[in-house]
Amino acid sequence: MAELPRVVMMGTGTFARPTFEALLAHPLFEVVGLVTQPDRDGGQVRGSTRQTGPSLKEIAGQRGVPVYQPDSINTPEGVAQLTAWRPDLLVVAAYGQILKADVLAAARHGGINVHGSLLPKYRGAAPVAWAILRGETKTGVTIIRMTTGLDAGAMLAQETIDIQPDETAGDLEARLAPIGARLAVTAAEEVMAGTAKGIPQDPALVSKAPKLKKEHGLIDWTQRAEQVCRQVRAMQPWPTAYTWLHQSGKPPIRLTVQCAVPTVVPEAVWIGTPGRWLPLEGSEVRLLVAVIGGAVELLELQPAGKRRMSTADFLRGHRMQPGDWFGPEKASGVA
């Protein structure tokens, strides 16, 4: 009986999980190893979609798949481990490291990557978040043959979906993950059969999606309402959008903004200074903030060290006064 094609999965977290499970369930593949990121104590607290929930390591343990967790796979030790598994193909999803040529060469057919964007748009570590942040109405998943360039390989498969108006990055990534799994399995079958046909990416259409940092979550109120609300959605579940509430005679309060919507307010109450609290009839249960050309209503908040809550619950303990404003922790105030 002929040996089944040998596959090594490389990935971390919820985006990679459906692909790993699909490979494990495939009757014509043998998953001979999993390479995943080292265990990190902060993963659950941080809230990244790539490091929460049942881990690939746990799934591998249940199925008897060997696990390797190097700080870097691009070392002689990493290449030696891959070579020892004798893989025919590497399947990569949200692994978090750029693979060097000798790593890709450890597999007979090299590697394919599951990427959460419509390449060549949004190459990089955070394509889902950046697509929302930039106001895209569509995104998707692309399967590429891996090269040493960042997400630069020939495209083997691609599928497009609509981005919903109220969708967070976490919500969207969860919808993209099973699509990626399905496309990855088909692409792996074609690569093994020698029938895969790659389409080169157009360099003129390339855009970048760099890794998110905490500072990407700081809300800039000098934007229009739609952009502020896109930032709130794009930064979930990590690093989350945040601001500070400044009230006279009190220390600033750090607030994570969990949900916000653009809103229209009467000209009589609109103060055109970005970040200013806008008093409005019924404002004891509503929290409106001035932005360029309009206002944003904050619907759900999480004060530092406290639970997530509705704005109405927050306002019961924090009475707003004229002159209150939102912005960076250290600032001279809103004029």
Residue 334 lies in a domain: no
- Looking at 166, 186, 205, which one is the last position of a domain? 205
pLDDT the model gives residue 238:
95
Please indicate whether residue 279 or residue 86 has the higher confidence score (pLDDT): 86
Whether residue 136 is predicted with pLDDT greater than 50 in this model: the reply is yes
The reply to whether 149 and 240 lie within a common domain is no
Whether residue 273 is predicted with pLDDT greater than 80 in this model: the reply is yes
The reply to whether 183 and 262 lie within a common domain is no
Looking up residue 190, the CATH number of its domain turns out to be 3.40.50.170
Q: Binning pLDDT at 50, 70 and 90, where does residue 280 land?
A: confident
Residue 219 lies in a domain: yes
Mean pLDDT of 25-29: 96
Residue 37 lies in a domain: yes
The reply to whether 198 and 224 lie within a common domain is no
Q: Binning pLDDT at 50, 70 and 90, where does residue 283 land?
A: low
The reply to whether 137 and 282 lie within a common domain is no
Question: Is residue 289 within 8 Å of 298, Cβ to Cβ?
Answer: yes
Whether residue 270 is predicted with pLDDT greater than 80 in this model: the reply is no
The reply to whether 166 and 105 lie within a common domain is yes
Q: Binning pLDDT at 50, 70 and 90, where does residue 333 land?
A: low
Q: Binning pLDDT at 50, 70 and 90, where does residue 1 land?
A: low
Residue 56 lies in a domain: yes
Q: Model-level pTM?
A: 0.93
Whether residue 158 is predicted with pLDDT greater than 60 in this model: the reply is yes
Residue 103 half-sphere exposure, CB side, CA atoms within 13 Å?
A: 22
The reply to whether 162 and 52 lie within a common domain is yes
The reply to whether 189 and 304 lie within a common domain is no
pLDDT the model gives residue 54:
78
Burial class (CB in 10 A: 0-12, 13-18, 19+), 194: exposed
pLDDT the model gives residue 47:
37
pLDDT the model gives residue 52:
57
Phi/psi of residue 250, each to 5°? -130, 150
293 vs 271: CA distance, rounded Å? 10
Residue 188 lies in a domain: yes
Q: Is 291 left (phi over 0), alpha (psi -120 to 50) or beta?
A: beta
Mean pLDDT of 292-312: 95
pLDDT the model gives residue 50:
46
Domain count, the chain: 2
The reply to whether 112 and 153 lie within a common domain is yes
- Looking at 154, 171, 205, which one is the last position of a domain? 205
Mean pLDDT of 180-203: 97
Please indicate whether residue 177 or residue 271 has the higher confidence score (pLDDT): 177
Mean pLDDT of 298-304: 96
Residue 332 lies in a domain: no
Whether residue 160 is predicted with pLDDT greater than 50 in this model: the reply is yes
Phi/psi of residue 68, each to 5°? -130, 130
The reply to whether 221 and 308 lie within a common domain is yes
The reply to whether 120 and 51 lie within a common domain is yes
Residue 194 lies in a domain: yes
Question: Is residue 118 within 8 Å of 201, Cβ to Cβ?
Answer: no
The owner of tokens 């495209």 is 155
Exposure b/e, 266-275, CB count within 10 A at least 16 = b: eeeebbeebb
pLDDT tens figures, 202-254: 999 999 999 999 999 999 999 999 999 999 999 999 999 999 999 999 999 99
pLDDT the model gives residue 53:
65
Residue 311 lies in a domain: yes
- Looking at 187, 205, 223, which one is the last position of a domain? 205
Output the average pLDDT for the chain. Answer: 92
pLDDT the model gives residue 312:
92
Whether residue 140 is predicted with pLDDT greater than 50 in this model: the reply is yes
The reply to whether 198 and 222 lie within a common domain is no
The reply to whether 260 and 139 lie within a common domain is no
Looking up residue 280, the CATH number of its domain turns out to be 3.10.25.10
pLDDT tens figures, 78-124: 999 999 999 999 999 999 999 999 999 999 999 999 999 999 999 99
Question: Is residue 210 within 8 Å of 124, Cβ to Cβ?
Answer: yes
Burial class (CB in 10 A: 0-12, 13-18, 19+), 240: middle
State the residue range of the domain holding 187.
6-205
